A and B are shown apart, each in its own frame.
Chain A
Amino acid sequence: MSARTGTEAGHGDDAVCVVRELVKTYPATRGRRGVPATPEVRATDGISLEVRRGEIFGLLGPNGAGKSTLVRQLTGLMRPDSGSVEILGHDIVRHPERAARILAYLGQESTALDELTVALAAETTARLRGLPLKEARVERDAVLDELGLGSLASRPLKKLSGGQRRLACFATALVGERSLLVLDEPTTGMDPVARRAVWAAVDRRRAERGTTVLLVTHNVIEAETVLDRVAVLEEGRVIACDTPGGLKTAVAGEVRLELVWREKAPLDVPEVSALRGSAEETGRRWTLRLGPDEARAAVAAVTGGEAFAALDDFTLATPSLEDVYLALGGRTDRAKGLVKA
């Protein structure tokens, strides 16, 4: 590493992608007939972050938090109003066309490929990444084989199921090697086998080539299992950035207690009515975040006597990233965008 020259001050030793104070505002739109006016929206509001070489870095947040807008600015698809994006030393704001030569991007849409067969989609993409025909075909076969898409190779993407189509699109992101993969919700709609194929392929590239992955997700379970570090976004801002474990220590002292009542909560029981103040109610379900001792006392209270008769079910769980998100001040009504499945 001592041979490194000309690195600008302030970068981590092995930063692949450095984002500073990125701002993008969507202008207000005037209302038309049937279309209500929308106010000005700051989709990214001063975002700064650093992605290190060889890590899987996640962007987690509810729908509309600004994840995709951020990614579009990193891939040169959208110009920020202000701020800087540097990928492997290249200024992407000034030279957006260079992004295509550094990274591979898997967007949420597959319309450009829908009518092609899986094999031709992969081959064409490889050729458009600058590979000669022969190499493109070798890569195509290798990647389709690796992802278990061989049997679907001659079928058009349009005719595949959602998960299979997503996997085929993922294959197009892998052909023509790139050191940075930007994946926008890559596993949406996939079955567990396909998911495993995706993460195995990502891990292989990390081990063999030090590939870096920037992953957009709103799937909390996936975020907890695959990410090295995660930035939690809300309303265009990074509200936290750490390892999933590190973020969870922020709420380490808490456990989550969920109570489901048969019909309604027995508020005439004093212990239950005392809990109500700290509960978040959705229909018959109460969600409480409590210290371990309080939780034990609460469980004892609701599992004995009169309250137990009214109780349908209860669960006690250690905190998840979703709890972290809520503890960080994420708004509850928006948290529904975080899918736990």
Chain B
Amino acid sequence: MSVVPVEAVAGAVAATGEDTAAEAALAPKARLFPSLAAVYRAQLSRARVARIPLLFVATFQSVGIMILMRGVVDGGSEARAVVAGSSVLVVAFVALNLLAQYFGQLRASGGLDHYATLPVPPSSVVLGAAAAYASFTVPGTFVTAVVGSVLFGLPLTHLWILIAVIPLSGAALAGLGAALGLLAPRPELATLLGQLGMSAALLLGVLPADGMPVLLQYARDLLPSTYGVEAFAGTFDSSPDWAAVALDLGVCAGVGVISLAAATWAYRKASVR
């Protein structure tokens, strides 16, 4: 089926005459931001095919939890914690749980090879996917926050804080999810870890902290989503303590940097075997 005569091939080679150096020139590397943007855009487009039903699930779950909790808590700080916790739970569901599953499956099926044989910085693949998954959570988080505020009679004044809470807690949770998915030796384990992470975010984030045993309170402090929840809950005051909010968000950002770095390391480790 090969219709090109050998002479034609040889002619083409002679014409280009480029094979002079011992090491041929390399094609350029893809730069960080353009490739991050390309991965982000590709991941975002997957939502249309595969993710939208799951976003509904995430939102319904959080709204359902708030309706349940309405009979248990009666306003005040507990209500704030429930609304903030349920909103951030949407982020945990998508960014941690679903991203862990995605990377777990990608690793197990050999799909990482595609990225590993392209000249992209590993961080662009991880950051692009993490950013896309964090973006998926935006509508669900807003819907949950608004419904919750109305349900518990909380002010809607400072909901804009979500613009900071979603990306920062999204970074922390997505990094954790990606790292879990990439490090899990089997995809089932990645799914399990993602589910566990989400359950932890649910229990430790939504339930009011005051009544918890000491051990659980420590666990709560270790969970990255906690700081997003606290920051958001703090803004329901009529005059919020912005310094405390900023501190919580700062912790979120710090954890985000660490967990994304860990995810990038895990990606490197997973892509060359």
- What 1/0 mask marks residues of chain B from 110 to 149 whose CB sits below 8 Å from any chain A CB? 1111111111100000000000000000000000000000
State in angstroms the CA–CA spacing of A112 and B272 once bound together.
16
A128-B39 in contact (CB<8A):
yes
Task: Choose the segment among B30-38, B69-77, B171-179 that binds chain A (4+ C-beta atoms closer than 8 Å).
Answer: B30-38
* Cross-chain contact of B24 among A90, A108, A116, A206 (Cβ < 8 A): A90
Task: Choose the segment among B2-10, B55-63, B205-213 that binds chain A (4+ C-beta atoms closer than 8 Å).
Answer: B2-10
Judge whether A228 is part of the interface by a CB distance below 8 angstroms: yes
Nearest B-chain residue to A127, judged by Cβ = B38
A128-B35 in contact (CB<8A):
yes
Judge whether A66 is part of the interface by a CB distance below 8 angstroms: no
A76-B117 in contact (CB<8A):
yes
Q: Which of A77, A96, A99 has the most CB of B within 10 A?
A: A77
Task: Choose the segment among A42-50, A129-137, A160-168, A299-307 that binds chain B (4+ C-beta atoms closer than 8 Å).
Answer: A129-137
A99-B117 in contact (CB<8A):
yes
- Residues of chain A from 216 to 272 with CB closer than 8 A to chain B in the complex: 225-228
Nearest A-chain residue to B16, judged by Cβ = A210
- Residues of chain B from 149 to 203 with CB closer than 8 A to chain A in the complex: none
Nearest A-chain residue to B27, judged by Cβ = A101
**Which residues of the partner chain B approach A3 to less than 8 Å between Cβ atoms?**
20
- Residues of chain B from 1 to 47 with CB closer than 8 A to chain A in the complex: 1-4, 6, 8-10, 12-13, 16, 19-24, 26-31, 34-35, 37-39, 41-42, 45-46
B113-A107 in contact (CB<8A):
yes
State in angstroms the CA–CA spacing of A283 and B3 once bound together.
40
User: Whole-angstrom distance from the CB of B103 to the nearest CB of chain A?
Assistant: 11
A88-B24 in contact (CB<8A):
yes
Judge whether A207 is part of the interface by a CB distance below 8 angstroms: yes
State in angstroms the CA–CA spacing of A88 and B19 once bound together.
9
Nearest B-chain residue to A172, judged by Cβ = B114
**Which residues of the partner chain B approach A72 to less than 8 Å between Cβ atoms?**
113
**Which residues of the partner chain B approach A195 to less than 8 Å between Cβ atoms?**
1
State in angstroms the CA–CA spacing of A291 and B125 once bound together.
59
**Which residues of the partner chain A approach B113 to less than 8 Å between Cβ atoms?**
72, 77, 105, 107, 109, 112
Judge whether B243 is part of the interface by a CB distance below 8 angstroms: no
Judge whether A196 is part of the interface by a CB distance below 8 angstroms: yes
B21-A130 in contact (CB<8A):
no
State in angstroms the CA–CA spacing of A121 and B30 once bound together.
16
State in angstroms the CA–CA spacing of A45 and B235 once bound together.
65
- What 1/0 mask marks residues of chain A from 95 to 118 whose CB sits below 8 Å from any chain B CB? 011111111110111111101110
Judge whether A158 is part of the interface by a CB distance below 8 angstroms: yes
Given A78-B273, A128-B39, A132-B34, residue A112 in contact with residue B117 (CB < 8 A): no
Given A90-B26, A112-B114, residue A79 in contact with residue B38 (CB < 8 A): no
- What 1/0 mask marks residues of chain A from 1 to 19 whose CB sits below 8 Å from any chain B CB? 1011111100000100000
A124-B26 in contact (CB<8A):
no
Given A54-B12, A96-B272, A101-B27, residue A203 in contact with residue B2 (CB < 8 A): yes
Top 4 nearest A-B pairs by Cβ distance?
A: A111-B111, A88-B24, A89-B23, A112-B114
- Residue contacts A-B, CB under 8 angstroms, 12 given: A5-B20, A98-B26, A108-B110, A123-B38, A124-B39, A128-B119, A130-B28, A130-B119, A156-B49, A158-B49, A210-B9, A226-B2
A-side interface residues toward B, CB under 8 Å? 1, 3-8, 14, 53-56, 72, 75-79, 88-90, 96-105, 107-113, 115-117, 120-121, 123-125, 127-130, 132-133, 156, 158, 172, 176, 178-179, 195-196, 199-200, 202-203, 206-210, 225-228
Known contacts A3-B20, A124-B41, A130-B29, then 8 further A-B pairs from the complex at CB < 8 Å, ordered by chain A residue: A77-B113, A89-B23, A100-B117, A111-B105, A115-B45, A129-B30, A202-B2, A210-B13
B-side interface residues toward A, CB under 8 Å? 1-4, 6, 8-10, 12-13, 16, 19-24, 26-31, 34-35, 37-39, 41-42, 45-46, 49-50, 105-106, 109-120, 271-273
